[in-house]
Amino acid sequence: MLSHEHPHRRLNPLTGEWVLVSPHRARRPWQGQVEKVPPETRPAYDPSCYLCPGNTRAGGAQNPDYPGTFVFDNDFAALYPEVPQAGVEEDELFVARTEPGIARVICFSPRHDLTLPEMPVEAIRRVVDVWTEQYAELGARPDIGHVQIFENKGAIMGCSNPHPHGQIWAQATLPDLPARELACQRRYFERHGHTLLGDYLARELDRDERIVCANDHFVALVPFWAVWPFETLVISRRPVPDLTALDDDEKTALADLLKRLTTRYDNLFEVSFPYSAGLHQAPTDGRPHPEWHLHMHFYPPLLRSATVKKFMVGYEMLGMPQRDLTPEAAAARLRALSETHYSVCAA
C-alpha cells in the first residue's frame, strides 16, 4: 500500500499530467528569512487609483461613479477583435496564426480597501452575476470559442493595482489547459456516462480528508494532485457546464463558499493572501458539452509564511511539478482555520 510519507507521483485526471510529492522534504530546516508582514492599509478611495469610481484611467477614459461592480474593455488589452487573418506556416517547425479576442476588467467593488474575503456575501454574489452575464454575452459571439474569467490577487501574482478586480480574456480558440481538461473529461464521460469531477467529488466527500469547506451546492477541497502548497479546487455539486446553468440559490452558494475559502487563505498567515484563481467553464463553440463540469482553480504561492513562497524552478521547469507539503496536510491546515477574517478579530 502506498505510504504518503514516501516520495510518489500523483496523476491529475483533469489534464493527464503527473506531480511528484516528496513529503519528507517538508521536515527539512528552513534557513531563509521569515518575517511578520505588517497588515496593508489602504483608503476606501484612492484619487491616484485608475480603477476607483470617477477617476481617469491610464488610457484616458473616465470611470463612472459606480456603486457596485463595473466592467470595461481593458485599455491595454492582450487581445482585440479586429485582427486581420494572417499566419506563418512555412513547415511544421515555424507555425503562427493571429488570434482575435476581447479582454475586459471587472471591478468587484467601488471600495479600494476591500478584497473578496472582506466583502459581504451579497456583494460577492453581484460579482458572480457579472461573471455569468459576461460569459453569456461574450460566449454568444461567433468569433469567441472560450471565455476565461480570472483574478490575480497580490503584487507577486502580477497584479498591478490593489483595487479589487479581475479580468476576462475571451478568444477564438481553446487555450492549452482547458483543451487538455476538455479531452480528459470527454474521454471519461464517454466511458462512464458521468462527469469526471462529479465522480471525483463523490469519492472525496466519502474520504473527507481533503475537504476544506462546503455548503449545499459547492465544495472547496485540496485536490489529490495539487501542485501549489495550498492549491484548492471549487466544484459544483450538480454537474453543470457553466455559470449560466446555476439557479439563484447555487449562485449565492458560490458567493458564500468563495468568501469562506478566501477568508481561510487570509487567516493562514494573517496577510492578504495572494493567488491566481479562475473559473473553468465549457467552451463557447456552440456545441453541447455534457462532459464539462463547472469548477474553479485557486493557485496560491505562499508556503511557510507571508515571505516564503513556492516557485517553479530547477526540476519543476525541466522535469515535472513537485511539492513537499502533502495535499492532505494542506487541507487539514485550511480546514482548521476560522471563517472570521483575522482583521475583524484584531479590531
* Contact between 236 and 96 (Cβ < 8 Å): no
Q: Cell triple for residue 336? A: 482548521
Of the residues 146, 165, 297, 341, which is catalytic?
165
Residue 255's nearest CA partner among 301, 229, 230, 220 is: 220
Which residues are CB-neighbours of 147 under 8 A, at least 6 positions away? 134, 135, 138, 139, 168, 170, 281, 284
Distance of alpha carbon 195 from alpha carbon 192, whole angstroms: 8
Q: Please list the residues that pair with 103 across neighbouring strands.
A: 169
Distance of alpha carbon 145 from alpha carbon 287, whole angstroms: 10
Distance of alpha carbon 76 from alpha carbon 93, whole angstroms: 31
- Specify whether 165 is catalytic: yes
The stretches of the chain forming alpha helices (DSSP H) are 121-139, 176-192, 196-207, 248-269, 315-318, 327-335, 342-346
141-173: string of b/e by CB count within 10 Å (b at 16+)? beebbbbbbebbbbeeeebebbbbbbbbbbbbe
Query: What are the backbone dihedrals phi and psi of residue 322, each rounded to the nearest 5 degrees, phi first?
Result: -145, 145
DSSP 8-state class, residue 16: T
- Give me the active site residues, please: 165
